[in-house]
A and B are shown apart, each in its own frame.
Chain A
Amino acid sequence: DTAVSQTPKYLVTQMGNDKSIKCEQNLGHDTMYWYKQDSKKFLKIMFSYNNKELIINETVPNRFSPKSPDKAHLNLHINSLELGDSAVYFCASSYGTSGGHRSKQFFGPGTRLTVL
């Protein structure tokens, strides 16, 4: 029944390490997103993928690299982790290009990343 799922739920790691977060959706959507929520709960778009192609790449350090093996999956790989990368990362999905009611975005449960 899970619509948008993410793994892991929690990720604690040392500075300088490389880590990945995985996202899967079973809603049949063609667009997936990564958002970052900071300690003040502010949510900001990082990336958007439509049919496995990168649509949006906001001003995110190039240490962050999204990869979409198929329409149902969007993974986020982070190289050389820094203290400031600590945040909650949310995956979301929608029928991206249709507009109207098909543009509603549904969010996963989040991955809390802590960099020590």
Chain B
Amino acid sequence: GQQLNQSPQSMFIQEGEDVSMNCTSSSIFNTWLWYKQEPGEGPVLLIALYKAGELTSNGRLTAQFGITRKDSFLNISASIPSDVGIYFCAGLTGGGADGLTFGKGTHLIIQP
């Protein structure tokens, strides 16, 4: 089946630093989604991308749909303590009734 390679697996950063993470795939996706999960909660949708090359922002978060349709990037600027959590990329190949293919997540830890 399809797999998404998400990196880095974890990040230890100082408050105020910028963060970058990415996902790559051997297959093409039509939609890329980025989720954040906090302990004991379900994944929360952050950004959705629908077209190759698309760049979309949500506050301090910016994500891009790679032009090859096989990768996506998420950047967080000026990190704050509440950014702590696990960030997942997810890809969708079909129209929508398909299940999402998830990356293995990036654990973001902010050091005081």
B42 touches A108 (CB 8 A): yes
A50 touches B97 (CB 8 A): yes
- Say how far B100's CB is from chain A's closest CB, in angstroms: 6
- Say how far B50's CB is from chain A's closest CB, in angstroms: 6
Does A94 reach chain B (CB closer than 8 Å)? yes
* Alpha-carbon distance between A41 and B101 when the two chains are bound, in angstroms: 13
- Interface segment out of the listed B14-22, B69-77, B88-96: B88-96
* Alpha-carbon distance between A108 and B50 when the two chains are bound, in angstroms: 23
B96 touches A103 (CB 8 A): yes
Count chain B residues whose beta carbon lies closer than 8 angstroms to a beta carbon of A.
Answer: 28
Does B63 reach chain A (CB closer than 8 Å)? no
Count chain A residues whose beta carbon lies closer than 8 angstroms to a beta carbon of B.
Answer: 34
Collect the chain B residues with CB atoms within 8 Å of residue A50's CB. Answer: 97
A97 touches B99 (CB 8 A): no
- Say how far A35's CB is from chain B's closest CB, in angstroms: 7
* Alpha-carbon distance between A109 and B39 when the two chains are bound, in angstroms: 10
**Total number of A-B contacts with CB less than 8 angstroms?**
80
Collect the chain A residues with CB atoms within 8 Å of residue B37's CB. Answer: 41
* Alpha-carbon distance between A4 and B102 when the two chains are bound, in angstroms: 20
- Say how far B61's CB is from chain A's closest CB, in angstroms: 15
A71-116, CB < 8 A from B: 90, 94-110
28 contacts between A and B (CB under 8 A): A33-B99, A42-B102, A42-B104, A44-B102, A45-B100, A45-B101, A46-B99, A48-B97, A48-B99, A50-B97, A56-B97, A56-B99, A58-B99, A94-B96, A98-B96, A99-B31, A99-B95, A99-B96, A102-B96, A103-B92, A103-B95, A104-B45, A105-B33, A105-B45, A106-B45, A108-B42, A110-B41, A110-B42
List 15 additional contacts besides A31-B97, A43-B88; criterion CB under 8 Å: A31-B96, A40-B104, A42-B104, A42-B105, A48-B98, A56-B97, A56-B99, A90-B42, A90-B43, A97-B97, A99-B95, A102-B96, A103-B96, A109-B41, A110-B42
